[in-house]
Chains A and B, each alone.
Chain A
């Protein structure tokens, strides 16, 4: 029962929305929107909230145990700060909420990402080796791309860029297209298996 009911709900919602995709009546469109807006999106928003609650629980437990206590407290205070600011002064215009977002969250998040530039350079030095013929092709393709997107003018602009563009739009694109088709077929069959109740791993363990 604990597995049958969810499986049935899953199959019904999947079948319903799949069928509605092909129906053109106004009622069909209204139902389609209703499921997407009132069910799919709202339930998904609650799933996100579950993540937030889970984060708070894990951190509170860690504070209790004394593990990385100062850091956990800072995380929890940061989490608390944003709703307090939003409730006090709103989220628009020049609100403190957006001020914290612009001056604390955005710069740090962007800098964490910028760190990757250094590690990419380091990896290029330490790991990007022409160990075999396929690895050499990979390396040459990368060098061609990097050279073509550098503003060196002259010979580079005249000869290297058109070659790099051709490689990008043809052999490179064709491999990506094959990957896309593969993923498409894989997703299609997985979706069918989920709706038909053959694929049940999403139910997790237990009865």
Chain B
């Protein structure tokens, strides 16, 4: 049998041992997982991004304008000393500022306005019947938004509308729970399939 499959199988069983209770075998496997994951992450970030987009163009391609982002990146390490920690705020400012700048048009146009526009549908279907589904969506969106409106106390009409919003939220949470169960079960099926077919060779 392939040594890789034996190792993967044993490590899979080590992780599953947590189901009984926390134990040293599980802890050892977990520690290995954490270390290997961070090592992998380091290599991919270094090789695919820093080397390809920064160090190669800067040191072999002579693109000296890259010295600025390089310098900003180095300032990040200022965090490790109390004397220099304030310097790390500058690259963080670049990240926060750029993030906020790109987010405004996206949040306004692609999210809020696009979703609001999709909520408003014709009240009658093409065959002339009342568009019940469209109406349910409209009522659902308005009532749920009312539920999240906290600038006024939820009393009177607002209270009733917000209460209706909670029913829609409950339906949404229930549906989401159902799909989450599906997802988790699928992951377990995948691991059991590996153990039964690749590791133990009980099925094809």
A residues contacting B by CB (< 8 A) are 2-3, 5-7, 9-18, 21-22, 35-50, 52-55, 57, 68, 70-72, 74-83, 86, 91, 97, 99-118, 120, 124, 134-135, 137-146, 149, 166-185, 187-188, 190-192, 194-195, 202-204, 206-207
Q: How far is the CA of A166 from the CA of B132 in the complex (A)?
A: 11
Chain B, residue nearest A39 (CB): B69
Chain A, residue nearest B186 (CB): A117
- Enumerate chain A residues within 8 angstroms of B34, measured Cβ to Cβ: 75, 78
- Residues of B85-144 whose CB lies within 8 A of A: 85-86, 88-105, 107-108, 111-112, 115-116, 118-119, 133, 136-144
Query: In this assembly, does B181 line the interface, its C-beta being within 8 Å of a C-beta of chain A?
Result: yes
Q: How far is the CA of A135 from the CA of B169 in the complex (A)?
A: 11
Question: B53 contacts A42, CB within 8 Å?
Answer: yes
**Given the contacts A49-B42, A78-B39, A41 and B28 also touching, CB distance less than 8 Å:** no
Query: In this assembly, does B160 line the interface, its C-beta being within 8 Å of a C-beta of chain A?
Result: no
Q: How far is the CA of A79 from the CA of B140 in the complex (A)?
A: 49
Question: A53 contacts B38, CB within 8 Å?
Answer: no
Query: In this assembly, does B77 line the interface, its C-beta being within 8 Å of a C-beta of chain A?
Result: yes
Q: How far is the CA of A166 from the CA of B39 in the complex (A)?
A: 46
Question: A184 contacts B115, CB within 8 Å?
Answer: yes
Question: B171 contacts A39, CB within 8 Å?
Answer: no
* Main SS at interface, chain A: helix
- Residues of B140-192 whose CB lies within 8 A of A: 140-145, 147-148, 165-182, 184-185, 187-188, 190-191
B93, B119, B174: the one contacting A140 at CB < 8 Å is B174
**Given the contacts A42-B49, A175-B169, A118 and B19 also touching, CB distance less than 8 Å:** yes
- Enumerate chain A residues within 8 angstroms of B190, measured Cβ to Cβ: 110, 114
What are 16 A-B pairs at a CB distance below 8 A? A3-B89, A7-B93, A40-B94, A45-B50, A47-B76, A52-B38, A79-B42, A81-B36, A91-B47, A102-B8, A115-B18, A120-B184, A138-B170, A138-B177, A168-B175, A174-B168
- Enumerate chain B residues within 8 angstroms of A206, measured Cβ to Cβ: 85-86
Question: A149 contacts B178, CB within 8 Å?
Answer: yes
- Enumerate chain B residues within 8 angstroms of A107, measured Cβ to Cβ: 8-9, 11-12, 191, 194
- Enumerate chain A residues within 8 angstroms of B97, measured Cβ to Cβ: 9-15, 17, 194-195
Shortest CB–CB separation between residue B73 and chain A, in angstroms? 3
